[in-house]
Structure 1
Amino acid sequence: MYELNCAGVIPGCSRVIRADSQAEVIRRAVVQAKQLGIEEITPSMMDSFRTKTTEFRAGANDTSH
């Protein structure tokens, strides 16, 4: 599982985007940016999406078992 805290990457965004792959996180981040009015996704923004996307183990913090 991968996640991106888009605060600081996408102006005005406070979401944490999660998906099974880094590519899907980035795709969702692009959609989110466009929904927030960003018309052009710059190469530096794409670089930020890639470098700030982190991998984590789903359920690692789950204490419900």
Structure 2
Amino acid sequence: MYELDCSAVFSGSRRVIRSDSQAGVIRKAIAQANALGIERVSPSMMDSFREKMVERPEAATEHAA
């Protein structure tokens, strides 16, 4: 399970994105950026998504939900 705390990328955001794949997190992060009014995701923002994304053990995320 991969996770991205959006507050690490988007100032003021409290969303935490989770997905089974890194690509899934990236897709959701782009959608979140668009929802926040960011029309173009820059290469540096994509780098931030990748840098701030963490891998969480499956068992830990099941209990957190």
Q: Which is higher, the Rg of structure 1 or of structure 2?
A: 1
SS at match of 1:7: helix
1:40 to partner: Cα distance: 1.0
Partner Cα separation in structure 2 for residue 60 and residue 8 of structure 1: 21
Task: Report if aligned partners of 2:8, 2:52 keep a CA contact under 8 Å in 1.
Answer: no
Q: What percentage of residue pairs aligned between the two structures are identical?
A: 58
Q: TM-score scaled by structure 2?
A: 0.86
Q: What does the per-residue CA deviation read over 1:8-65, in whole Å, with 9 as the maximum and x for residues that have no partner?
A: 3023421000000011001100001101101110110000000111001122373xxx
Mapped partners of 2:13, 2:42: distance in 1: 17
Is there any run of 5+ residues in structure 2 with no aligned partner, and where? none
Alignment gaps of 5+ in structure 1:
none
Matched, 1:46 2:51: no
Contact 1:12 1:36 (8 Å CA) reproduced: no
Cα RMSD for the two superposed structures? 1.3
Query: Number of matched residues?
Result: 62
Q: If each structure's helix is expressed as a fraction of its own residues, which one has the higher value?
A: 2
